[in-house]
């Protein structure tokens, strides 16, 4: 079973390795983060932790049964009982239910630990696997949008404490 842990300072090295190892894989479905992201990773990691400390966001890593970092799942823009969900699972764990399990766990945490009542998310039309994860975890389509200039659908899920 995988574990979802709140992002900490000591995740930095493993998170950077995960992002580097999966850069080409992610670039096939989402815009590349660019060289500056990797060159300035330590400062960015500290900034994410500082932002998390404000309560506006909750960043998480996804670990497999061996404790290896296989993904990320984040809640951003927490306000008025809601947040926006984002996630990415690395190539070696893709297609094995890790994204679905991580999203289910973050929905549980959002309701029980963070007191949220609803989550929103978006998935590019060209990324049907991400849309399938959202549908499997109880999200419903609410509209259309653009993600980095590409057509996407928006989703919503109401949460209950037994999420």
Over the stretch 73-90, which tens digit does the pLDDT of each residue have?
999 999 999 999 999 999
Domains of the chain listed by start with CATH number: 3-158 (3.40.630.30)
Minimum mean pLDDT range among 6-10, 82-86, 90-94, 123-127: 123-127
When pLDDT is cut at 50, 70 and 90, the band that residue 27 belongs to is confident
**Is pLDDT at 31 greater than 80 in this prediction?**
no
Per-residue model confidence (pLDDT) at position 149: 86
Per-residue model confidence (pLDDT) at position 46: 97
Helix, strand, coil share (%) of the chain residues, nearest 5: 40, 35, 30
Q: What is the pTM of this model?
A: 0.93
41-54 and 12-21 helices, crossing angle to 10°: 120
Higher pLDDT, 33 or 75: 75
Mean pLDDT of the chain: 94
What is the distance, to the nearest Å, from the Cα of residue 148 to the centroid of all Cα atoms in its chain? 16
Which element (helix H / strand E) includes 27? Answer: helix 23-27
Q: Which two tokens stand for residue 74?
A: 């984040």
Over the stretch 41-85, which tens digit does the pLDDT of each residue have?
999 999 999 999 999 999 999 999 999 999 999 999 999 999 999
């Amino acid at each position: 079973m995988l574990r979802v842990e709140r992002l900490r300072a000591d995740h930095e090295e493993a998170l950077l390795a995960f992002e580097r190892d999966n850069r080409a894989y992610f670039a096939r479905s989402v815009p590349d983060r660019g060289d500056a992201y990797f060159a300035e990773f330590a400062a960015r990691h500290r900034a994410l932790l500082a932002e998390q400390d404000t309560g506006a966001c909750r960043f998480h890593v996804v670990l497999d049964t061996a404790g290896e970092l296989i993904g990320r799942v984040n809640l951003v823009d927490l306000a008025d009982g809601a947040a926006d969900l984002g996630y990415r699972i690395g190539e070696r764990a893709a297609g094995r239910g890790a994204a679905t399990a991580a999203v289910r766990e973050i929905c549980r945490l959002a309701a029980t630990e963070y007191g949220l009542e609803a989550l929103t998310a978006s998935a590019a039309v060209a990324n049907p696997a991400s849309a399938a994860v959202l549908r499997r975890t109880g999200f419903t389509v609410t509209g259309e949008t653009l993600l980095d200039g590409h057509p996407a659908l928006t989703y919503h899920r109401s949460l209950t404490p037994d999420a």
